[in-house]
């Protein structure tokens, strides 16, 4: 089954406050989910969540959403699936050691911010696919990058070029597909155990 992850840009007013920003992000994520359901041929309704927020399967469909300032995402599949989006920006330097090991940074080509977000989104998408929380990131291990994976910078990465990685989590390998949005400001990762083709859909907010 082809996967159709949908990304929607979120317009924010400069004076938007965190609570209204979060409400808007969540709305856009649901809009992305509806668009993804259409593309996937999945039902319009029935997307419910467990008490803690983890998505519950909708019949034969698993799903995942993610939202951050400026971008929302959704994906639907017939096997457990996770998606994560993050804004690429400098964070605290000590986060490198929290998120990855020396071996993982070496595999990625060094401790750069694009590499940081690549690893972070890969691990977070994996824990979400397993309906777990962020604490489980420590149990995820990057074990492989695809052959075409050049040292990664947003400007060198065309959105259509497939870039995959493998994350090992609790004896299972998860294939990670990465995607950079069209303005190079955000990175998305989806985690799946399938070898399905992935067709990313980037939409601006008026589409
Ligand atoms: C789940 C989690 C990793 C999401 O990461 P995030 O960067 O904060 O947020 P994202 O935008 O990527 O994803 C948010 C969406 O993930 C989904 N979600 C929430 N909990 C989830 C879980 N346990 N697994 C998968 N998806 C989850 C929700 O749909 C949520 O969106 P919503 O609040 O609008 O419904 C993080 O919130 C977390 O660790 N929460 C703690 C949950 C926990 O420990 N649960 C115990 C289960 S073992």
pLDDT digits 0-9 by tens, 56-114: 999 999 999 999 999 999 999 999 999 999 999 999 999 999 999 999 999 999 999 99
**CA 53 to centroid of ligand 1, rounded, Å:** 6
Report the pocket of ligand 1 as residue ranges, CB < 6 Å: 26, 29, 49, 52-55, 64-67, 84, 124, 127-128, 131-134
Minimum mean pLDDT range among 94-98, 169-173, 197-201: 197-201
- Looking at the domain assignment, is residue 19 inside a domain? yes
**Which pairing describes strands 201-203 and 6-9: parallel, antiparallel, or unpaired?**
parallel
pLDDT above 50 for 199: yes
Taking residues 131-156, report their average pLDDT. Answer: 77
Containing structural domain, residue 69: 6-203
In ligand 1, which atom is closest to the CA atom of 25?
34
CA distances from 82 to 15, 94, 106, 174 (A): 32, 26, 25, 10
pLDDT of residue 148: 57
Domain assignment present for 1: no
Number of domains in the chain: 1
What is the predicted pLDDT for the residue at 159? Answer: 41
Helix/strand/coil for 113: helix
Quick one: pLDDT band at residue 205, thresholds 50, 70, 90?
A: low
Q: Which atom of ligand 1 is nearest to the CA of 29?
A: 34
In a domain, 114, yes or no: yes
Cβ count within 10 A of residue 137: 19
Instruction: Tell me, in angstroms, the distance from the centre of ligand 1 to residue 125's CA.
Output: 10
**128 Cα: distance to centroid of ligand 1 (angstroms):** 7
Q: Is 98 contained in some domain?
A: yes
Q: What CATH number does the domain containing 67 carry?
A: 3.90.470.20
> What residue's CA is closest to ligand 1, atom 9?
66
pTM of the shown model: 0.93
Task: From 14, 81, 109, 170, select the one nearest 73 (Cα to Cα).
Answer: 81
Sign of the four-CA dihedral 12, 16, 21, 27: negative
Contact call for residues 36 and 74 (beta carbons, < 8 A):
yes
What pLDDT score was predicted for residue 154? 47
The pLDDT, as a whole number, for residue 131 is: 98
């Amino acid at each position: 089954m082809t996967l159709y992850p949908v990304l929607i840009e979120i317009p924010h007013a400069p004076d938007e406050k965190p609570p209204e920003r979060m409400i808007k992000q969540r709305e856009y994520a649901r809009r992305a989910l509806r668009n993804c359901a259409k593309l996937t041929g999945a039902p319009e309704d029935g997307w419910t969540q467990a008490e803690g927020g983890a998505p519950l399967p909708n019949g034969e469909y698993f799903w995942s959403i993610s939202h951050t300032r400026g971008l929302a995402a959704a994906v639907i599949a017939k096997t457990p699936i996770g998606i994560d989006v993050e804004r690429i920006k400098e964070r605290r330097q000590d986060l490198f050691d929290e998120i990855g090991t020396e071996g993982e940074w070496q595999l990625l080509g060094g401790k750069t911010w694009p590499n940081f977000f690549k690893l972070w989104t890969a691990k977070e998408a994996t824990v979400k696919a397993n309906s777990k929380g962020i604490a489980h990131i420590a149990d995820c291990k990057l074990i492989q990058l695809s052959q075409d994976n050049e040292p990664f910078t947003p400007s060198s990465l065309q959105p259509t070029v497939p870039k995959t990685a493998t994350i090992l989590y609790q004896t299972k390998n998860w294939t990670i597909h990465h995607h950079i949005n069209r303005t190079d400001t955000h990175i998305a990762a989806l985690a799946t155990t399938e070898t399905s083709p992935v067709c990313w859909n980037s939409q601006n907010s008026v589409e």
